[in-house]
Structure 1
Amino acid sequence: MTAAPEEQPAAHPAQRRTLTVLSIAQALGGLSNGVALGVGSLLVAQVTGREELAGLAATLLTLGGAALAVPLAKLAQRRGRRVSLTTGALLALAGAVTLAVGGALDAPWLVLPGFFVLGGAMAVNLQSRFAATDLSTPQRRGRDLALVVWMTTIGVIVGPNLIGPGDALGVSLGLPSLVGAYVISAAAMAVTAAVLWSSLRPDPLLESRMGVPVEAEAPRLRLAAHPRALAAVLAVAAAHATMVGVMALTPVHLDHAGQALGVIGFTMSAHTAGMYALSPVFGWLTDRVGARATVLAGAGILLLSVLANLLLPVALAPVGLALLGLGWSASTVAGSTLVAAAVEPRLRPALQGRSDLVMGLSGAAAGAAAGPLLGLAGYGGLNLAMLPVIATVAVAAVLATRSARADSVTGATAPTTD
Structure 2
Amino acid sequence: MPDPQRHDSELTRIRRRTLWVLATGQVLGGISFGATVSLGAIIVSDVSGDESLSGLASAFVTLGAAVFAIPLARLAKASGRRPALAAGLLVALVGVCVVIVGTGATSLPLLLTGVFLIGAGQAANLQSRFAAADLATDRSRARDISLVVWATTIGAVLGPNVIGPGEALGDMVGMPSPTGPYLFTIVAQALAVVMYLVLLRPDPLRLADRLIAERPVGVSRLARSDRPAAARYAIVSIAGAHGVMVALMAMTPIHLMHGGATLTVIGLTISLHIAGMYALSPLFGFLADRIGRVTTVLIGQALFAASLVIAAFGQASAPAVTVSLVLLGLGWSASTVAGAALLTEATAEQLRTRRQGRSDLVMNLTGAGGAVLAGVVLGWIGYGGLALVALTIVVVVTVLSPLGRAGGGESRD
Q: TM-score, normalised by structure 2?
A: 0.87
1:321-336 map, 5 Å: 321-336=325-340
1:352-371 map, 5 Å: 352-371=356-375
Quickly say closer, same or farther: Cα 1:49–1:245, change in 2 above 3 A.
closer
Q: Which amino acid aligns with 1:389?
A: I
Query: How many percent identity over aligned positions?
Result: 46
Q: Secondary structure of 2:210's match?
A: coil
1:139 and 2:139 are equivalent in the alignment: yes
Q: Distance in 1 between matches of 2:203 and 2:315?
A: 51
Q: Secondary structure of 2:406's match?
A: coil
Q: Distance in 1 between matches of 2:324 and 2:45?
A: 29
Deviation at 1:379, TM superposition (A): 3.2
Q: Secondary structure of 2:286's match?
A: helix
Query: 8 Å contact 1:242–1:386 — kept in the other structure?
Result: yes
Quickly say closer, same or farther: Cα 1:389–1:144, change in 2 above 3 A.
same
Q: Distance in 1 between matches of 2:315 and 2:106?
A: 42
1:288 to 287, 290, 313: 290
Quickly say closer, same or farther: Cα 1:196–1:350, change in 2 above 3 A.
same
**Larger deviation: 293-302 or 312-321?**
312-321
Q: Distance in 2 between matches of 1:16 and 1:37?
A: 31
1:92 and 2:97 are equivalent in the alignment: no
Q: Secondary structure of 1:180's match?
A: coil
**Larger deviation: 229-238 or 100-109?**
100-109
Query: 8 Å contact 1:290–1:417 — kept in the other structure?
Result: yes
1:221-300 map, 5 Å: 226-256=228-258, 264-300=266-302
**Larger deviation: 230-239 or 10-19?**
10-19
Match of 1:3 in 2: none
Q: Which amino acid aligns with 1:381?
A: G
Query: 8 Å contact 1:294–1:334 — kept in the other structure?
Result: yes
Q: Which amino acid aligns with 2:322?
A: P
Match of 1:304 in 2: 306
Quickly say closer, same or farther: Cα 1:194–1:415, change in 2 above 3 A.
farther
Q: Distance in 2 between matches of 1:174 and 1:250?
A: 30
Q: Which amino acid aligns with 1:24?
A: T
For residues 131-176 of structure 1, what are the alpha-carbon distances to aligned partners after superposition, in whole Å with 9 as ceiling and x for unaligned? 0000011100011100111111111111122223333333333333
1:171-250 map, 5 Å: 171-213=171-213, 226-250=228-252
Q: Distance in 2 between matches of 1:289 and 1:249?
A: 34
Query: 8 Å contact 1:10–1:137 — kept in the other structure?
Result: no
Match of 2:222 in 1: none
1:156-167 map, 5 Å: 156-167=156-167
1:395 and 2:390 are equivalent in the alignment: no
Q: Distance in 2 between matches of 1:40 and 1:172?
A: 21
Q: Which amino acid aligns with 1:152?
A: T
Q: Which amino acid aligns with 1:241?
A: G
Match of 1:63 in 2: 63
Q: TM-score, normalised by structure 1?
A: 0.86
Deviation at 1:61, TM superposition (A): 1.0
Q: Which amino acid aligns with 2:311?
A: N
Q: Distance in 2 between matches of 1:44 and 1:127?
A: 27
Q: Distance in 2 between matches of 1:382 and 1:128?
A: 31
Deviation at 1:283, TM superposition (A): 0.5
Unaligned runs of 5+ in 2: 1-7, 215-225
Q: Secondary structure of 1:112's match?
A: helix
Deviation at 1:339, TM superposition (A): 1.3
**Larger deviation: 196-205 or 185-194?**
185-194
Aligned residues: 393
Match of 1:379 in 2: 383
Q: Distance in 2 between matches of 1:61 and 1:212?
A: 35
Deviation at 1:208, TM superposition (A): 0.3
Q: Distance in 1 between matches of 2:103 and 2:161?
A: 20
